[in-house]
Structures are given as structure tokens and as C-alpha cells.
Amino acid sequence: MEPLIQLIDVRKKFGGQEVLKGVNLAIYEGKTTVIVGESGKGKSLVLKHILGLIKPDSGKVLVFGKDMNKIGSKELKDIRSHFGVLFQNAALFDSMTVFDNVALPLRERTNASEEEIKIIVNEKLNLMDIEYSNEKYPAQLSGGMRKRVGLARALVLNPKIVFFDEPTTGLDVAKSNEIYRVFHRTQTKLAYTAVIVSHDVPKIFKLADYVALIHEGIIQDCLTPEDFQTSENPAIRDFVEETMGLIYESEHVEG
């Protein structure tokens, strides 16, 4: 199957620091790909390359088979109109209320009437378990609430591809489980392609079709969660051991 998104030998340097040293990654339609890795190793950076916000020093980023850095602004806009993005810091519009934040894509990109907008926005906000906060400003929300408003905004247009940068960081366990359930439900309903950056190992594996580990500036491997947990790749083994305890090692030794 032809991948929907493909990164080919993407390299990126900041000053003397070479963060991405030849990233190769394929993301398939309708699947959930989870990117894991230590903090500060370039997970968000990979997302920003896919979104076309950062140009690679060398290498290619293909989305729908088109090179994100060679296409014109109109085509880029067309591609991005299929995106739903949650930034790591949520990037809410801080001088707009919660309601207006979520309503903005509808107001700018569709011809929906204010009544329709109201219904859709409230539905999405309820989905994310946010109530009584429509008239609040982002600065008046808790960190976890900001994340959830960001999620509601990302999902409001029912995008084809969603990018979530740490969707559940800063949420309590019950809330993050609820968010995962929402993802599962919406994904089965809308069959979107998802790229999720997360530290929530191993819980996130339940949601993942593929797991990719970024380490030493490259994607070590992109495998199904089962294969990932039993991979022979030393970096992946270390990561699995560190994040999931020693059980897996003993299993590995026995197996």
C-alpha cells in the first residue's frame, strides 16, 4: 500500500546541533502511528516537518505524494485543509474565548450558520468533557483543559489526518483514558489517519497500529505494537525496558 505521508532521509540541524539525522518514516491511511522517544529528541520536530512549518536541510517530506517544500501556497493550503492539529502547547488563540477558538475553523472554512456552528462546537466540547467554559479565555483554563480545547479544535472539521502532539500530557488518568476512548470512537467512525506523539507508554500502544521510536536522530523502526515490544533493535529494547519494566526482558530471555 502506498503511504499517505512519507519522510525520506530528512535531516535538520540547528546551529551545531544535528537533531534529525536522516529520518525515514511512512504513515499509512486509516492507521494510527504513534511516535515515541525521549524528551528533546525531535518528535515535535518531525511533526512540524510533516506540517510544512519547518523546511528540512535535506530530504523530502511527501504528503499525498506531494513534496511539501516544492508545492505552491495554494496546494499547500489544499493539503492542510485535511489536517487537524494539536500542538504540544495547544497554541490556542489567546484573545478568543474557548467557543470562538473551536468555532474559528468552521467560520473561516465553511459556510455553516451560527446556529449550526453552535451545535457542532458544543458537541465537540462535550466530547472532550469541557462544560461551563465556553466564555472563558485560554489563560483562564487549566493546562489539561487547554489540551482538550485544542483537541476539540483539531477535530471540529472532521479532518482526514490528525496530528496530536502529546494529547494526554497533563491530564489525570481518568481523563486521559476518556480521551483515548474518544479517539477510538472517532477513529472508528471517521477512519482518519492519526499521527500521535506520546509519552504515555504502554497505554498508547492499545491505540496504535504502528509505533515508531525516534532515537539518535533517526526513526529506529516503525512496527506494530506487538513487534515493537519484542523487537531485537537495541535502542527499541532499551526503550521498552525502561518504559515498561523488566517483565518483557525476562520474557525475552525465556523466549
Q: Which residues bind ligand ATP (CB under 6 A)?
A: 14, 19, 37, 39-45, 88
133 is a contact residue toward Mg ion (CB under 5 A): no
Taking CA atoms, 161 is separated from 18, 139, 157, in Å, by 28, 28, 11
Judged by CB, which is closer to other proteins: 62, or 235?
62
Judged by CB, which is closer to other proteins: 48, or 215?
48
Helix H or strand E encompassing 27: strand 17-27
Q: Which does 104 bind (CB under 5 to 8 A by kind): Mg ion, ligand ATP, other proteins, none?
A: other proteins
User: From the CB of 47, what's the least distance to other proteins, in Å?
Assistant: 10
243 is a contact residue toward Mg ion (CB under 5 A): no
Strands 161-165 and 193-197: parallel
**Interaction with Mg ion in 44-103: which residues (CB under 5 A)?**
44, 88
Q: Rounded to 5 degrees, what are φ and ψ at 4?
A: -80, -40
Kindly give the residue spans of alpha helices, DSSP state H, lying in the chain. Answer: 43-51, 73-80, 98-109, 114-127, 143-155, 173-190, 225-229, 234-244, 247-254
User: From the CB of 15, what's the least distance to Mg ion, in Å?
Assistant: 19
Distance CA 140, CA 143 (A): 10
Judged by CB, which is closer to other proteins: 40, or 255?
40
Nearest by Cα to 151 from 125, 174, 169: 125
Q: Which does 40 bind (CB under 5 to 8 A by kind): other proteins, ligand ATP, Mg ion, none?
A: ligand ATP
Instruction: Give the binding site for Mg ion (CB under 5 A).
Output: 44, 88
